Amino acid sequence: MVEEKKEIEESQKKKRGRRPKNVKIEYVLNKEQTKFFVDLSKNKNELKLVQDILIKVNDKHHGGEVLFKDIALFSIEKLTIKDIDKLQENSLSEMEKVQRSLDEYNTKNNLKLSLGEYLLKKLNLN
C-alpha cells in the first residue's frame, strides 16, 4: 500500500529538463486556491482604469465601501461566450496563431502540409 502511494507520487512529479516541442501540457486548476493576486504595477493604464472605476462606484452617500473584489465578481458573472473566446484568442502567441491556421487549413482541405509548405502557399512564393 505504501509502495503504491510512493509510485503514484513519483509518477506525478514534474520531470526535469527541456520540454519536448509540440507537447501541450493540459491546464489543471488548483481547486484549493482561495486567493488571487492582480498586479497592475506594470500597466499604468489598467491601474488608472481600475482606480477611476473604484472612485465612481464609491461616490455615494450611503452603504459600505465597494471593493475591487466586488467589481471583479460582478464582471465575471457578465462574461459571455464571445468574451471567453476573445480572452483565449488574446492568450495565443504569433506562432500559435500560425499553427492554428495551418491546422484549420489542413483539416478543411484534407491535407497534411508542413508549416513551411503552408507558408509558401499562403504567401504565394512558389
pLDDT tens figures, 97-123: 999 999 999 999 998 988 888 888 888
Q: Which domain holds residue 47?
A: 40-78
Percent of the chain with pLDDT over 90: 52
Residue 24, domain member (yes or no): no
> Is the domain of 124 the same as that of 87?
yes
More confident residue, 124 or 62: 62
Residue 12, domain member (yes or no): no
The average confidence (pLDDT) of the chain is 85
Residue 54, domain member (yes or no): yes
Confidence band for 27, pLDDT divided at 50, 70 and 90: confident
C-alpha pair distances (Å), 91 with each of 53, 96, 118, 123? 25, 9, 23, 25
With CA atoms as reference, report the closest residue to 99 among 116, 85, 83.
116
How many Å apart are CA 44 and CA 37, to the nearest integer? 17
Grid coordinates representing 82 are 464571445
Number of domains in the chain: 2
How many Å apart are CA 15 and CA 12, to the nearest integer? 9
Confidence band for 11, pLDDT divided at 50, 70 and 90: low
